[in-house]
Structure 1
Amino acid sequence: MTRSEKVIVEGLLSAMALTAPAFLFHSAPRFPGSLPGSVLGIAAALLFVALLTYTLVKRQGRVKALVTGRVSLGQVLTFHVYAGAIGAVLGVLHSGHKLENPLGIGLMVSMLLVVASGFVGRYFLVELGQDLRDQQRQLSVLRDRYDSLALAAAGLKDELVVDPSGLRMDHLLGAISDLEFAIGARDTLKRSLNGWVVIHILAAIVMYTLLSLHIWSGVYYGLRWLP
């Protein structure tokens, strides 16, 4: 994910998060079935169906060859990210801040899990991995500097050995200890989040199942805005 993608997606997710308090202070039970509410719901549903494009392109060799001849897989993934974030925002707006039944609640929760787990895998873990690599490089440099100072101090007594940058051995040792702790904490977090793809897939299966039931119930019970 590029920096611009990150900013846009974070903005969309922030907009979605900011609508959460509205569930406590505002409710429009008839809005989802109205014309504007239905337009939002249909748009959200179409975007979530469009998310399957990435899976199809990635898993089906013939489709991949056909599509990637025109656009890159990275561009398809970018569309996947944008469609998921925008679809989630539209889905929250479509709800009218009123979830009256288990179907609606389950659909909302699974939708948010799909978006959140996708964001973790697409951006957060990538950033975390890059941070870990940077810190490991820093740790290697600090250890080399400490080893050099320790070797220089081996034959000296009661003399203070200082690194060319001005750091003493005890300062280097403290910096190494702090960095090792930070690396350990980040590595633990990274390993705990490595199962994001399982959560993402399971949440998507639940979401598409509930979305199908939601669409069926809307058609079965009628759309109020139709003549």
Structure 2
Amino acid sequence: MSETEKLTVGALVSVLVLVVPGFLLHEAPRFPGSLAGGLLGIVGASLFVLLLIYSLVRRSAWVRTRVSKYASLRALLSFHVYAGVIGALLGILHSGHAYRSPLGIALVVAMLTVVLSGFVGRYHLAQLGTDLREQREKLGVLRARFDQIAAEAARTAPVGSANPSSSGPSLRTLALLASGDGVAVSGAPLLRLVGAIADLEHAIGRREAVKRTLSRWTVLHIAAALVLYPLLALHIWNGIYFGLRWLR
């Protein structure tokens, strides 16, 4: 995942989120049936149909073997992301912000759920995993430093201040370390180190909780897609059955 791709898709999603409530400022009930509105709808619907290519390639070894000769799975995923966001944006423009029919409203909600859940899973969840790995590495460094200081304190502390049978330095040893009494390491750096470890462990715990919550994005993404495509087919049939206004 490149930084350019992340910024581009993030910008497109931001535009999509800002365009959705456009009915507060503008509404064109006749635009969806016009020539321009119809073309936007056709292109947007076509992009959403093309999204299925990535799903087929990923889940079918037979299809993947034949398609991989022409495009990599990573390239198809990038197309999947761009096509979804652009298709949703064209779909909102096609609506003319005329959210009146239950079918249209349900289609818009399903479409936005598919796009936003995919965006969260593709970018935010991946970034969250990267941040967690970096924080765990930093926590490992801090703990190693703490163990080094504690071992030094155990060696330099007065005899009898630590319990030899314990697996680590005793509270007495740590107290001596924190006060700087009888050890070469001052207490202030240790207290800052302990505070940094505690803060980092707390931050990691919160990020892990968020990651567990967001890890369910795939279920939401697939469920919304299963709702989206029947609604899209019904919407297309509805437009063909009642006719296109610009042909009259």
TM-score by length of 1: 0.94
Aligned to 1:202: 223
Map 1:21-60 onto structure 2 (within 5 A). Answer: 21-60=21-60
Specify the code of the residue in structure 2 equivalent to 1:177. A
If asked which structure has higher relative contact order (CA below 8 Å, sep 6+), I would say 1
Specify the code of the residue in structure 2 equivalent to 1:53. I
Q: Any stretches of 5+ residues in structure 1 without a counterpart? A: none
Aligned to 1:168: 189
Aligned to 1:130, what secondary structure does the other structure show?
helix
Displacement of 1:162 in angstroms is 4.9
Q: Distance in 1 between matches of 2:11 and 2:120?
A: 15
Cα deviations across residues 34-83 of structure 1 (Å, max 9, x unaligned)? Answer: 11111111110000000001011112222211110121111011110110
Stretches (4+) displaced over 4 A: none
Map 1:51-70 onto structure 2 (within 5 A). Answer: 51-70=51-70
Q: Distance in 2 between matches of 1:176 and 1:2?
A: 31
Structure 1 residues 161 and 49: alpha-carbon distance in aligned structure 2, compared to 1, 3 A threshold: same
Q: Any stretches of 5+ residues in structure 2 without a counterpart? A: 158-175
TM-score by length of 2: 0.87
Equivalent of residue 238 in structure 2, options 214, 217, 223: 217
Q: Is the 8 A contact 1:149 1:162 kept in 2?
A: no
Cα deviations across residues 181-207 of structure 1 (Å, max 9, x unaligned)? Answer: 100000000001111111111100100
Count of residue correspondences: 224
Aligned to 1:177: 198
Q: Distance in 2 between matches of 1:130 and 1:148?
A: 27
- Please say which structure displays the higher CA radius of gyration: 2
Aligned to 2:31, what secondary structure does the other structure show?
coil
Note the aligned Cα RMSD (angstroms).
1.5
